Structure 1
Amino acid sequence: MHRTLSLLLLLSGLGLSILVPGGPIETRDFSHISPIILALFNSYLTVLGVGSFMLAYFCFQRQRWAFKATVLAGLSYLWVYAIDLARVFPTSPTPMPTALEVVEILGVLLALPMSIIATRLACSQPLSMSTGRAAGSERALILVSGALLFVLSACIILFATLAAMGRL
């Protein structure tokens, strides 16, 4: 089940990543929304997307904390897609493209089993779960990776916010 969960996280992260404003699917205009609100929402979405890739690795490694975090990620995907599909937020005078609606429905269909599987794994206590600490070289790799992900995330947030405002 942990492998399935990792796959669901990867697919969810990929699905969300193709929905970046200014990309091929998210073409709506959000210039009427405050740049601060857009930046905060894009930050949340970026953390969710990038975090999904990281969680996929740790779920594959059977880290109990990652199963618990994935429950929150699954619920976050459900929430994000539900408020958009229900036309609650973000609203736009531009209609939702059909491709966007299809990807978001698929996102909901991935998030439901993700949440269920993560809950089961978080509540169970398999004997084979890794609990060891990272070695020195592993810690260094994690720190460098984290720094690179931070820079990448900042660039994604800036791009998505400017694109959503129609400034690209």
Structure 2
Amino acid sequence: MNKARSAVLATLTLSVLNLCFMILSVLTKTRVFPDYPPMVITLFTVFLITLGVLSIWQLFAGLDGQTMRGKILLLLAVEYFVVYVVDIANIFPRSVAPMEQTLFIMEIFGAVLAVLLFVSASVYIKSEPIKS
């Protein structure tokens, strides 16, 4: 296994764990979003779950020795980055309760992981022949 692939697998694993911990932890349950209709929050939650499931699928494709899809890896990295940055910048979703410091740190960590995933996926795409 080459170094670029190992870096992709490591950053993607950490990204999935970080996202899952944030979704399932008590940290996010203190945030209330009364300005959004339930459908908006439901769709956002479905998006986050889909992001996690696609990431896990990419992990298993990489761990099973199959070729990971380069464009999907780049898209996942961008999606992770956007999700964290818009929340850190208080663009979406806006909560009545302020973000706790632990959640803020986890989102910064997630954004850094997203950048590392993008860089490692870019190197992986250049080093491995990707089957579209």
TM-score by length of structure 2 reads 0.86
Confirm or deny: 8 A CA contact 1:9 1:114 kept in the other structure: yes
Aligned residue runs from structure 1 range 49-68, under 5 A = 49-60=52-63, 61-65=65-69, 67-68=70-71
Confirm or deny: 8 A CA contact 2:84 2:107 kept in the other structure: yes
Task: State yes or no: 1:40 paired with 2:79.
Answer: no
Structure 1 residues without counterparts, runs of 5 or longer = 132-168
Question: 1:123, CA displacement in angstroms?
Answer: 3.4
Confirm or deny: 8 A CA contact 2:34 2:96 kept in the other structure: no
- Report the counterpart of residue 27 of structure 2 in structure 1: 25
How far apart, in 1, do the equivalents of 2:55 and 2:84 lie? Answer: 15
- Report the counterpart of residue 115 of structure 2 in structure 1: 112
Matched residue of 1:18: which SS? helix
Find the structure with the greater CA-based Rg: 1
Task: State yes or no: 1:15 paired with 2:13.
Answer: no
Confirm or deny: 8 A CA contact 2:8 2:124 kept in the other structure: no
* Post-superposition CA distance 1:88-141 (Å, at most 9, x none): 000011100111100000001111110011122223444xx7x7xxxxxxxxxx
RMSD over aligned CA atoms reads 1.8
The list of structure 1 runs, each at least 4 consecutive aligned residues, that deviate by more than 3 angstroms after superposition, is 123-126
Aligned residue runs from structure 1 range 100-139, under 5 A = 100-126=103-129
Identity %: 29
TM-score by length of structure 1 reads 0.69
Question: 1:7, CA displacement in angstroms?
Answer: 1.5
Structure 2 residues without counterparts, runs of 5 or longer = none
- Number of matched pairs: 126
